[in-house]
């Protein structure tokens, strides 16, 4: 811990102490002496601290520092996480954190040119007007700071490595940039962190890629490792509600649990479900949970639907019995003296008659 003397004269000899109210933190040596500090000078004192093995990486620890030298005192309270939440890709893959790859080609882990250790992340080998993005999400209980090392070899001023927080670009780098540290403050809450290599419409220079290494996350946790279904929608009908959703952004679920008003309805293997055990005029709330071999995802978005009786709509397609041998639609084709009416209707015919989907056709008659 540094101690600064900002006064105009030397300080007397002094003593510093360190305490912590955080459970699991043991101060092994909480007192240190220091000699006189010259005007505008400094001294450094050291303490020994042990964190219990049961404490999770990233747990916030409060440290109370006090220094006194004669009539002068200084106090400070510092909060810091236990250990480092570090992604250095030394696993040789992207399994240490829940990474999501988007864009035209994914980032890869390579064993050449790392900032430290053996491995580093490298952007995908993309072409003109393409992108390669890797993203991960962290949940912060309090504000914190993220740092990482980046390296770029690209067409200067045209092809960029870009860093985003929650979809908002924080900075971009282009040209030839050797390993450099970047640091950004993050607000509390759920933060999506993304690194994108972007290429414009022409010209490739250098290695035409970017590298990321040694990412130090702030005190935070990852969201569920089991990604939830996406974009759940509900379409009400007559004594029915049709649900549909998209597969998770990553992972392969074994199935999906369908919940109505927080009660389990069914487990299905496809991306849709029709609930027919409903009453018209009653509003129902639905959500979906993805089921994996190792566990279940967080719930999807919640949707509401109120089934009701469908008001019949009568439309007329074609021009009665006035058709000839052409392909115009009509209930009865007099040209062939046939009583067989048209049984296949095109979307264009329905649209022309004023019907736009999706709709439920209850009857066809003539």
Report the distance separating Cα 274 and Cα 289, nearest Å. Answer: 16
Question: What is the model's pLDDT at position 333?
Answer: 52
pLDDT digits (tens, 9 = 90+) for 290-339: 999 888 998 999 999 999 987 777 776 655 555 445 555 555 555 555 54
Q: Catalogue all structural domains in the chain, each as residue range(s) with its CATH number.
A: 2-81 (2.60.40.10), 86-217 (2.60.120.260), 230-305 (2.60.40.10), 312-366 (no CATH)
Question: What is the model's pLDDT at position 273?
Answer: 97
Q: Residue 212: CB partners within 8 Å, gap ≥ 6? A: 107, 120, 121, 134, 148, 149, 150, 195
Query: If you count them, how many residues does the chain have?
Result: 366
Question: What is the model's pLDDT at position 213?
Answer: 98
Helix (H) or strand (E) holding 351: helix 347-352
Instruction: Give how far Cα 323 sits from Cα of 317, 364, 366, Å.
Output: 12, 19, 15
Would you list the DSSP string of 207-233?
T-EEEEEEEEEPS-B---SSPPPEEEE
Q: Is the pTM of this model over 0.75?
A: no
Q: Which two tokens stand for residue 96?
A: 């240490």
Q: Is residue 163 within 8 Å of 192, Cβ to Cβ?
A: no
The position carrying tokens 């990852």 is: 222
Q: Is residue 33 within 8 Å of 14, Cβ to Cβ?
A: yes
Q: Which two tokens stand for residue 287?
A: 């959500």
3-state secondary structure (DSSP) of residue 68: strand
Around Cβ 15, how many Cβ atoms within 10 Å?
13
Report the distance separating Cα 231 and Cα 228, nearest Å. Answer: 10
Q: Please provide the distance, in angstroms rounded to a whole number, between the alpha carbons at the two ends of the chain.
A: 90
Q: How many CA atoms lie within 13 A of 246 on its CB side?
A: 6
Question: What is the model's pLDDT at position 70?
Answer: 92
Question: What is the model's pLDDT at position 339?
Answer: 47
Residue segments in the chain with a per-residue pLDDT below the cut of 70: 316-345, 357-366
Upstream peptide bond of 99 is cis (omega within 30 degrees of 0) = no
pLDDT digits (tens, 9 = 90+) for 27-51: 999 999 999 999 999 999 999 999 9
Question: What is the model's pLDDT at position 351?
Answer: 78
């Amino acid at each position: 811990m540094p101690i600064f003397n900002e006064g105009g004269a030397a300080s007397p000899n002094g003593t510093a102490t360190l305490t912590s109210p955080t459970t699991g933190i043991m101060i092994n040596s909480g007192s240190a002496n220091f000699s006189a500090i010259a005007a505008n000078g400094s001294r450094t004192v050291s303490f020994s601290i042990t964190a219990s093995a049961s404490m999770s990486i990233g747990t916030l620890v409060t440290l109370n520092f006090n220094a006194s030298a004669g009539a002068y005192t200084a106090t400070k309270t510092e909060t810091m996480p236990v250990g480092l939440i570090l992604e250095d890709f030394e696993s040789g893959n992207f399994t240490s954190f829940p990474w999501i790859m988007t864009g035209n080609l994914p980032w890869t882990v390579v064993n050449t040119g790392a900032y430290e250790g053996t491995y580093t992340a490298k952007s995908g080998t993309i072409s003109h007007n393409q992108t390669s993005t890797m993203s991960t999400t962290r949940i912060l209980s309090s504000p914190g700071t993220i740092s990482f090392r980046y390296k770029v070899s690209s067409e200067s001023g045209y092809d960029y490595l870009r860093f985003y927080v929650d979809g908002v670009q924080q900075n971009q780098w282009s040209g030839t940039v050797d390993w450099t540290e970047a640091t950004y403050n993050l607000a509390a809450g759920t933060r999506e962190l993304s690194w994108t290599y972007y290429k414009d419409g022409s010209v490739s220079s250098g290695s035409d890629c970017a590298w990321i290494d040694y990412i130090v996350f702030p005190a935070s946790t990852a969201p569920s490792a089991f990604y939830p279904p996406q974009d759940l929608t509900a379409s009400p009908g007559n004594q029915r509600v049709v649900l549909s959703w998209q597969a998770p952004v990553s992972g392969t679920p074994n199935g999906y649990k369908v919940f109505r008003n927080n009660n389990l309805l069914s487990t299905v293997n496809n991306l849709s479900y029709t609930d027919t055990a409903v009453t018209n005029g009653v509003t129902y709330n639905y959500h979906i949970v993805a089921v994996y071999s190792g566990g279940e995802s967080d719930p999807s978005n919640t949707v509401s639907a109120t089934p009701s009786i469908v008001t019949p709509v009568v439309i007329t397609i074609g021009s009665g019995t006035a058709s000839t041998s052409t392909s115009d639609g009509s209930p009865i084709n007099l040209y062939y003296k046939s009583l067989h009416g048209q049984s296949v209707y095109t979307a264009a015919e329905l649209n022309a008659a004023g019907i736009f989907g999706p709709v439920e056709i209850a009857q066809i008659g003539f």
